[in-house]
Chain A
Amino acid sequence: MHRKKAPVIKDAVEFNLQLKPYEYFELDNGVPVYTIDAGTQEVIQLELVFYAGNWFEKDRSVAAATNFMLKNGTSNRTAFQLNEQFEYYGAYCSRSCFNETAVINLSTLNKHLHELLSMVEDMITDSIFPEEELAIYKQNSKQRLKVSLQKSDFVAARLIDASLYGIHHPYGTYTHAEDIDALQTEQLKTFFNQYYLQGHCVIFVSGKIPAGLQVLLNKHFGNHSMRKPSFAVEPISVQPLTEKRSRVQNDPDGVQGSIRIARPFPNRHHPDFMKAMVLNTLFGGYFGSRLMSNIREDKGYTYGIHSYVQNHLQQSAWMISTEAGKDVIEASIEEIYKEMKLLREELVGEEELSLVRNYLMGTILGDLDGPFQIMGRWKNIVLNQLNSDYFYDTIKTIKTISAEELRELAKTYLVEKEFYELVVV
């Protein structure tokens, strides 16, 4: 037995990765439905995606409040009744508000789908936004905000986005207590009417798909006035800050600094995007990355350091994020720039590049395990309006990108002076 010698492996790059294709149909009102039938468990997930994110709000926080309040009362059901019935069937009905879109997500055992769809229908077509429910929402949101504002990571996340996009852009704006105070039920009703009731919607269903799903969805969602989206939004221009460096004192008792270093980056349609995903992995995208190896595993300055490209549809940013001990903040930042410089100046070795390729292929393979995950990939492709070969092009990029291309990319993008640099203690 040779314990020093690694067993022979099949190179993950040789794996033949397949993304199971979706089925597609449209409801009578044109609303598109994408389905993935897979999995072993009798479970199903239904996501209704509306173009009702904060992109469309005139006053701050209206989109998020409207989305949240969908579960707080309809003409036929009180907030308590809605919650009680979802919970009685052991189902989860969550809602989330993003920039362009706002989502209602229902996850349930198949056997209860029928009963639950009528409740979801009720929420998205007949929500009434009761005054007393809004008052409770406002009070509790403000309290939650107050707690969050004491956390340096929360404050840093807001401020770096504001620097990158400007506070008037949907990606850069953030909630103030006064915005919550100013919310009125009339605003929510108007927003609901325009962006849900008369809005643009697309539906994703994954899991064990029952027979007759199309008829069922048509019955609940097909004769309402929502329509098929164009998948595009009116552009809003960004107004980035000119000052790139800032240090903020937030908590006098803070023992760590939240470091955020970020630069603007194009969206998924840009020819460099897929390649940059590989460079990002190498730089700070996995446990063995340059940033982790140096700043955590060699220096012990932090519990974790990561780089990533923000998941935005229109334009994005390349971000480095870490929480580091107060006495090693500046040293950590220095090392981050050093790692950028290394990537600009030196070619990545064959061994490390092969490691990154294999790691990425393995995680994609693992990530395709299960219907919800497969749909997650498709949803990304649909909402970003990418070509259906996007998945396979990504794989090809991972397999073929060269060390020279990675260095060129680093020269283009990992340039110190292009980065915003923020520390919040």
Chain B
Amino acid sequence: MIQFERFVLANGLRVLVHEDKSTPMAVVNVLYDVGARDEDPAKTGFAHLFEHLMFGGSINIPVYDEPLQQAGGENNAYTTNDLTNYYCQLPAENIETAFWLESDRMLSLAFSKKSLEVQRKVVCEEFKEHYINKPYGDVWHKMRTLAYTTHPYRWMTIGASLSHVEEATLEDVKAFFFKHYTPCNAILVVAGNITTDQIKALAEKWFAPIPAGEKYDRNLPVEPRQTESRSMEVTANVPLDALYKCWHIYPRTDMRYYVADLITEILSGGGSSRLFQKLVKEQQLFSNIECYHLGSTDAGLLTIEGKLVKGIKMDAAEKAVNEVLKELIDHGITVRELEKVKNKTESMIAFEDMSVMSRAASLAMYELLGDAELINIELQRYQAVTAQQLQDECRIIFDEHNCNTLYYHSNNN
């Protein structure tokens, strides 16, 4: 059970406090309710580029990192298709330094031209390092455009193209900041060796004076239900053929999300999972195969991806995957399999909750989803899933009309 207090400042900033006296540290986590899905289709990659600019100096403080490091702190941030999260950890005695830094960059950035110029280049190198200079690096770029026709999950967080990042202007940066980086679009979580009273006082002092800004009204195009299967073929300079299949699943707050999550565990949550045992060990069609989803807020994708054993034909490999799925649809799962994936979920949550930083990030994420208390009822939701539900959902999800397939061929076969 994770205890926390919650209060809201007059400007709309939601604040959560989680006390943990067993650590000498404190974590300050600021989540902004903006991600790549909120971008203009002609200016993708912006939310992530913006995250870099948040370290380029704020209105009153020329650099972010140095004062934090001087206080014995460390920090980082990440952007997803749904949200942008900034977190720092520092000795609890020095927590006010984090309030000073975070509140100033919520108040306003310095909007330095030099910072924009440099970070555009840095992000381009990040783009190259992760998505161009690696075999199969462009898979998700292709898969997203195949699986989504309308919803902005069509593009990756890093951006649809290098040129979008290269063309970003200071005007774009300012507009983005004042639209999204406001107290009413943010969640502050403070965790560790602190007290709620202390945090209330600090939040009033540093964050309450920031103007509320306008609440961003998210109104994203809805992805229409997919009614026929889609596929794409690619041939590239990669060593092995690979197969990728995606099916649309449910939004994060839908109860069926938990069922879909357990389906991925049944299929590939370890050495005893179905896909691995059948296709890597018994039939030896794949040298590795995985099933996962990205936990996105809006309806996401359940993915199966695998690299084929040299000499195995793509259609044979695909047929074998479909047979594993058919068996699941026709015969369901055993009691022991269900217990296994639930036990695994329980222990995964326990290990995650060991770190105060991870607890703080989870609280922010659940608050964003609508209720931080979800952190304490997630496990029950997983435990309530029945074998019958699981089988029923497999039938619905793995319907071939709901399927997107990418055949990634090696050119050196």
Residue of B nearest to A14 (CB): B93
A-B CB contact pairs (8 Å), 29 listed? A1-B209, A4-B61, A9-B70, A9-B97, A10-B94, A15-B72, A80-B281, A86-B271, A88-B343, A90-B347, A143-B287, A144-B287, A146-B240, A147-B135, A147-B238, A150-B237, A151-B133, A256-B125, A288-B65, A299-B121, A300-B120, A300-B125, A323-B128, A325-B124, A325-B125, A359-B69, A359-B72, A363-B74, A369-B23
A361 near B: Cβ within 8 Å? yes
* Min C-beta distance of B289 to chain A, whole Å: 11
- Bound form: Cα–Cα A288–B63 in Å: 11
Known: A88-B339, A323-B133. 16 other contacts (CB 8 A): A1-B205, A9-B97, A40-B354, A43-B351, A79-B281, A82-B271, A87-B344, A88-B340, A90-B348, A139-B309, A297-B122, A303-B123, A303-B129, A359-B69, A369-B24, A370-B354
**Residues of chain B with a CB closer than 8 A to A300's CB:** 117-122, 125
Contact in complex: A84, B281 (CB < 8 Å): no
Interface flags for A362-376 (1: CB within 8 Å of B; 0: not) read 110110011010000
Tell me which residues across on chain B come within 8 A of A298, comparing CB atoms. Answer: 118
Q: CB distance A365 to B24 under 8 Å?
A: yes
Is A61 interfacial (CB 8 A cutoff)? no
Residues of A near B126 (CB, < 8 A) are 303
With A7-B96, A150-B135, A365-B25 in contact, is A323–B125 under 8 Å at CB? yes
Check A146 against B239 for contact (C-beta < 8 Å).
yes
Chain A residues with CB under 8 A of B73:
362
Q: How far is the CB of B237 from chain A (nearest CB, A)?
A: 6
Pair A256/B25 contact, Cβ less than 8 Å: no
User: How many whole Å from B121's CB to the nearest CB in chain A?
Assistant: 3
B residues 258-307 near A (Cβ < 8 Å) are 269-273, 277, 280-281, 284, 287-288, 307
Beta-carbon contact of B65 and A287 below 8 Å: yes
Q: Is A178 positioned at the interface, with any CB of B under 8 Å from its CB?
A: no
The residues of A that contact B355 with a CB separation of less than 8 Å are 369-370
A399 within 8 A of B: no
CB contacts under 8 Å to B, within A10-49, are: 10, 12, 15, 39-43
User: Closest Cβ of chain B: how far from A130's Cβ, in Å?
Assistant: 11
**Within residues 339 to 369 of chain A, which ones have a CB less than 8 A from any CB in chain B?**
354-355, 358-359, 361-363, 365-366, 369
**Chain A nearest Cβ from B93, distance in angstroms:** 5
Q: Interface size for chain A: under 10, 10 to 19, 20 to 34, or 35 or more residues? A: 35 or more
Question: CA of A342 to CA of B61 in the docked complex: distance in angstroms?
Answer: 27
Asked whether, in the complex, the Cβ of A89 is within 8 Å of the Cβ of B69, the reply is: no
Q: How far is the CB of B54 from chain A (nearest CB, A)?
A: 14
Complex formed: what's the CA distance from A36 to B384 in Å? 36
Interface residues of B (CB under 8 A from A): 20, 22-25, 59-61, 65-67, 69-74, 89-91, 93-94, 96-97, 99-100, 103-104, 107, 117-126, 128-129, 132-135, 205, 209, 237-240, 269-273, 277, 280-281, 284, 287-288, 307, 309-310, 336, 339-340, 343-348, 350-351, 353-356
A80 to B271, Cβ gap below 8 A?
yes
Is residue A108 within 8 Å, beta carbon to beta carbon, of the partner chain?
yes
* Complex Cα spacing A252 to B346, Å: 47
Q: Give Cα A255 to B93, complex, Å.
A: 46
Q: How far is the CB of B382 from chain A (nearest CB, A)?
A: 12
A7 & B97 in contact (Cβ 8 Å cutoff): yes
Is A280 an interface residue, CB under 8 A from the partner? no
**Residues of A contacting B121 with CB < 8 Å?**
299-301
Q: A354-B70, A358-B72 are in contact. Are A369 and B25 (CB under 8 A)?
A: yes
Asked whether A143 and B100 contact (CB < 8 A) given A9-B71, A87-B344, A296-B122, the answer is no
Contact of A365 among B72, B270, B277 (CB under 8 A): B72
A208 to chain B, nearest CB (A): 11
Residues of A contacting B: mostly: mixed
With contacts A7-B100, A87-B272, A109-B350 taken as known, whether A288 is within 8 angstroms of B66 at the C-beta atoms is: yes
Q: How far is the CA of A144 from the CA of B119 in the complex (A)?
A: 34
A152 close to chain B: CB less than 8 A: yes
**Which residues of A275-304 are within 8 A (CB) of B?**
286-288, 296-303
Chain B residue, CB-CB nearest to A300: B121
Interface members, chain A 294-333 (any B CB < 8 Å): 296-303, 323-325
Contacting pair B67 A3 (CB below 8 A): no
Residues of A within 8 A of B65 (CB): 287-288
Bound CA span A300–B126, Å:
10
Docked CA distance A297–B114 (Å): 10
Q: In the assembly, what is the distance between CA of A292 and CA of B135, in Å?
A: 27
Closest to B352 in A: A41
**CA separation between A358 and B97, bound complex, in Å?**
14
The closest CB in chain A to the CB of B282 belongs to A80
Does the CB pair B104–A3 fall under 8 Å?
A: yes
Give the docked Cα–Cα distance between A83 and B268 (Å).
12
A257 to B, closest residue via Cβ = B133
- Chain A residues with CB under 8 Å of B310's CB are 143
Q: A150-B238, A362-B74 are in contact. Are A87 and B119 (CB under 8 A)?
A: no
Can you list, as one digit per residue, whether each of A243-277 has a CB less than 8 Å from chain B (1) or not (0)? 00000000111111000000000000000000000
User: Hey, what's the 0/1 contact readout for A130-154 against B, CB within 8 Å counting as 1?
Assistant: 0000001001100110110111100
Across the A-B interface, the 6 shortest Cβ-Cβ residue pairs: A362-B72, A300-B121, A83-B271, A12-B72, A90-B347, A84-B272
CA distance A348 to B346 in the complex (A): 50
Residues of A contacting B134 in the complex (Cβ-Cβ under 8 angstroms)? 151
Q: Which residues of B contact A299 (CB under 8 A)?
A: 118, 121
Query: A366, B74: Cβ atoms under 8 Å?
Result: yes
B72 touches A361 (CB 8 A): yes
Contact of A15 (CB < 8 Å), options: B23, B91, B120, B288: B91
User: Is the C-beta of A91 less than 8 angstroms from some C-beta in chain B?
Assistant: yes
Is A89 within 8 A of B135, CB to CB? no
Partner of B346, one of A3, A90, A147, A324: A90
